[in-house]
Amino acid sequence: MTDIMSRDKRSKLMSRIRSTNTKPEMIVRRLLWHAGYRYRLHGKHLPGNPDIYFPSKRKAIFVHGCFWHLHPGCPNVRLPKSREDFWIPKLEGNRARDLENQAKLRAMNWDVLVVWECETSDPVALLAKLREFLE
């Protein structure tokens, strides 16, 4: 199956995909802020650059998009039909890198939580999960 967009249009579309300050990340940040938690953002000095981290608690939160990080069992994850030779290794590489970075953080005695994009649709349950992780 071929792509329905021209190469230039697809390139322009893909270049607009953010790695920081994404909509799911902003939802998590707002929930934490309104619950009274104060945090740091995008820890460049930590493995994997956690989206949100708490230095004094040694806790890190990654907010992952279901597609980009291959959320297991999520209905939002559908592999592309075109260029499978590119996409499958790319997405599996993202997942492998995520697991490696989480292992490095745990080896440094940090607790790690992954919040998936699909979890942001239920703020009450998400806030409970965040509180449990942070307490």
Given a contact cutoff of 8 angstroms between Cβ atoms, the answer to whether 134 and 59 are in contact is yes
Single out the residue of 94, 127, 133 nearest to residue 110, CA to CA: 133
- Which tens digit of pLDDT belongs to each residue from 55-82? 999 999 999 999 989 999 999 888 888 8
Distance of CA 71 to the CA centre of its chain: 10
pLDDT above 90 as % of the chain: 70
Q: DSSP code of 106? A: H
Token pair listed for 66: 């279901």
**What are the boundaries of each domain within the chain?**
18-134
| pLDDT score, position 106 | 98
Quickly state the pLDDT bin for 107 (edges 50, 70, 90). very high
- C-alpha angle 58/60/64, rounded to 5°? 175
Q: Which CATH superfamily is domain 18-134 in?
A: VSR Endonuclease (3.40.960.10)
Token pair listed for 111: 């607790």
pTM, two decimal places: 0.85
